Structure 1
Amino acid sequence: MQTPRILACGDSALSVEFGETIDPDINGKVLALDDALRMRSPAGLLETVPTYRSLLVQFDPTLTDYDALAALLTAEAQGLAPRASTGRRWRIPVVYGGEYGIDLEDVAERHGLTPRQVIDRHAGAVYRVYMIGFLPGFAYLGGLDPTLATPRRTQPRAKIPSGSIIIGGAQAAVGSIECPSGWHILGRTPVRSYAPERDPAFLLGAGDEVVFEPVDASRWDMLDREAQAGGVVAEEIRP
């Protein structure tokens, strides 16, 4: 998409769409526009929300209007280069399988793999955090090994545990709080990606990277206690 598409979202928001696919360059342009607006802070701007392929811009209609803001955003987005650098890289511990990853064996059987092969492929990737959404701190990831792509469950579960490490289609995710889901649970992390008492409350941000570290179930209690006490548990391996 050479020229971003501007779409109205009610009377106090609009969306700037840069494409229609999950692509790091498209997402990089979303984040670059987000950065530019934060630096410029045009009149009436209230909040920006980056997604995979678009930026939602919320505004105060008493201070600006759709036409003026759409013109400004169109000009700002013309020839915009993707954000040059990624954010932080996090190493996140995961207990795979068993009670922590109840779908691991089914996913392995579906793809003609052993559970160990699924773990190795899932933990062998470097994931990009494309967006935070659906729930506070819920991180949508790109970078899943294509051989693990798995359609979502035909019968969603009413709830899955906080910290679930899940896949759905070609996407992967780090879950935050207990929630309903049709995604497949490969494991669980004690990391609190969302902790409202912490500053900042969100651990991961759009543009960050994630790698997963398989850990033995015998370490869960220790790591979970550390996280419960306020420890980050995840390791920041690149600023």
Structure 2
Amino acid sequence: MRAAGDQGLLVEFGDSVDVAVSERVLAFDAALRARPFHGFTESTPSYAAVLVGYDPLEVTPSAVRAHVEALLAEPHPPLAAAALHELPVCYEQPFAPDLADVAQRCGMSEEAVIAAHLSGEYRVFMFGFAPGYGYLGGVPEAIRVPRKPNPVRARPPGSLAIAGPMCLVTTVTAPTGWWVIGRSPARIVDVDRERQFLFEVGDRIRFRRIRRDEFDAFGSVP
């Protein structure tokens, strides 16, 4: 573990995007939330680490470190079974501007790329970049393509994008260097819901193919 400024402690569990590492991250995060120390502000899990935030006016760095070390030394109970979410996605144009390029790079037909994407077993490893941006590991090897050398501006919300082993569904209009192969009408972020994010870190995701008319029936993505 190492200091992250004067208000944080970074607790590292590995250096790879791995389910076993992620489960250790989430188990520690759950233990910390169940038994916070005085002065604790928040915890932020990532692929392989947890950022532990604290108020330096309320607690010393050494006390934070001691609390974390004590938690790490304890066995953590198994995590509850991960929730499974099914997200609809339309792979038709104009929702899939990069589908043909991905197919060409992978030496596959567009339908084969779609089938491969639908076959993936996805897991939410972390949130980042923008609210509700869940980084989903599990893109099949056959369609893993590196990031673009230059991002494309103003991709709309709901864009389903892949890069390497990761996949995400955007929630805001933003640039991206990932390959957009479809669009989902799912409301991943909804401030009017009790739980504003549709899924949590550690949850599982499946994608379901829909036609353009089915997409339109969902209404606009916020």
Query: Which TM-score applies when normalising by structure 2?
Result: 0.95
Aligned-residue sequence identity (percent) comes to 35
Aligned-pair distance for 1:84? 3.2
Q: Residue 129 in 1 paired to residue 131 in 2?
A: no
Q: 1:203 aligns with which of 198, 202, 212?
A: 198
- SS of the aligned residue for 1:99 comes to coil
Paired AA for residue 38 in structure 2: A
Partner of 2:35: 40
Deviations 1:44-92 (A, max 9, x none): 1100111110001110111112111112212212365585344210011
Q: Residue 113 in 1 paired to residue 129 in 2?
A: no
In the alignment, structure 2 segments of 5+ residues that lack a partner are none
Paired AA for residue 141 in structure 2: P
CA contact (8 A) 1:102 1:186 kept: yes
Partner of 2:167: 172
Partner of 1:218: 213
Q: 2:14 aligns with which of 11, 19, 26?
A: 19
Please identify, of 194-203 and 149-158, the stretch whose mean Cα deviation from structure 2 is larger: 194-203
CA contact (8 A) 2:92 2:211 kept: no
Paired AA for residue 145 in structure 2: T
Paired AA for residue 152 in structure 1: R
Paired AA for residue 143 in structure 1: G
Q: Structure 2 CA distance, aligned partners of 1:57 and 1:51? A: 11
- SS of the aligned residue for 1:221 comes to helix
CA contact (8 A) 1:13 1:57 kept: yes
Aligned-pair distance for 1:98? 1.4
Matching of residues 128-167 of structure 1 within 5 Å: 128-167=123-162
Partner of 1:51: 46
Query: Paired residues, what number?
Result: 222
Q: Residue 69 in 1 paired to residue 64 in 2?
A: yes
Aligned-pair distance for 1:168? 1.1
